């Protein structure tokens, strides 16, 4: 099972999200791991203390892709995936790259197993209230759940699941479940 996390912009949250989702799936008893396709090797470096999260033999592979839409690696990751997750911040500055990412995905495959996942969301802000509108402008069906902006997520990629509060664990768990549900 291959799930690819894509966005042409660096800083969108691909690596963080792929790692968090891998952790949540493992907590739920599924053998999931991140496959680091970015030449910058961010996931590999962040996970140096959690090598099990990089297990290339795990049946569920979460592909962390480089922020370059012209890259053959990204095209391959989109084509070979069972599901594609376009990761985006809700900010208007990220809209254009997310639209370009959506256009690339729709050029390469049918969109039925592609979803938009917002991350770095601050609840009760204008941007958080406008997620549905932003998703429409990006042109990809959004998951019904998203990830908030939480400092704990930055710690968890280095320190593991235990760095998360119960509330944060539940949020990531809901996102992981929503992603897996797309495949069924």
Ligand X SMILES: Nc1ncnc2c1ncn2[C@@H]1O[C@H](COP(=O)(O)OP(=O)(O)O)[C@@H](O)[C@H]1O
| Residues binding ligand X (CB under 6 A) | 7, 10-16, 42, 67, 119-120, 147, 149-150, 153-154
Contact 82, 54 (CB under 8 A): no
Residue 11 binds which of ligand X, Mg ion, none (CB < 5-8 A, kind-dependent): ligand X
The answer to whether 4 contacts Mg ion (rule: CB under 5 A) is no
Give yes or no for residue 114 binding Mg ion (CB under 5 A): no
- Least distance from Mg ion to the Cβ atom of residue 14, Å: 5
Phi, psi dihedrals of residue 68, rounded to the nearest 5°: -140, 105
Which residue's CB is nearer to ligand X, number 59 or number 122?
Answer: 122
DSSP-derived letter for residue 9 is S
SS3 119: coil
Nearest to 43 by CA among 62, 71, 27: 62
Q: Of the two residues 5 and 116, which places its CB atom closer to Mg ion in the complex? A: 5
Please state the φ and ψ torsions of residue 147, each to the nearest 5 degrees: -105, 130
Report in angstroms how near the CB of residue 149 gets to ligand X at its nearest: 4
* Sites of contact with Mg ion (CB under 5 A): 14-15, 42
């Amino acid at each position: 099972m291959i799930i690819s996390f894509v966005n042409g912009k660096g800083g969108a949250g691909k690596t963080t999200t792929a790692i968090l989702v891998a952790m949540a799936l493992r907590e739920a008893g599924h053998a999931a791991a991140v496959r680091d396709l970015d030449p910058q090797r961010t996931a590999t470096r962040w996970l140096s203390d959690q090598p099990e999260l990089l297990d290339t033999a795990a049946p569920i592979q979460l592909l962390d892709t480089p922020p370059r839409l012209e890259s053959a690696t990204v095209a391959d990751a989109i084509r070979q995936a069972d599901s594609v997750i376009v990761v985006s911040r809700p900010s208007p500055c990220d809209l254009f790259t997310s639209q370009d990412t959506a256009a690339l995905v729709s050029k390469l495959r049918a969109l039925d197993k592609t979803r938009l996942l917002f991350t770095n969301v601050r609840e009760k802000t204008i941007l958080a209230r406008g997620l549905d509108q932003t998703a429409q402008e990006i042109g990809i069906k959004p998951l019904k759940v998203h990830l908030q902006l939480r400092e704990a997520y930055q710690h968890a990629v280095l320190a593991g699941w235990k760095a998360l509060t119960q509330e944060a664990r539940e949020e990531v768990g809901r996102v992981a479940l929503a992603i897996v549900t797309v495949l069924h």
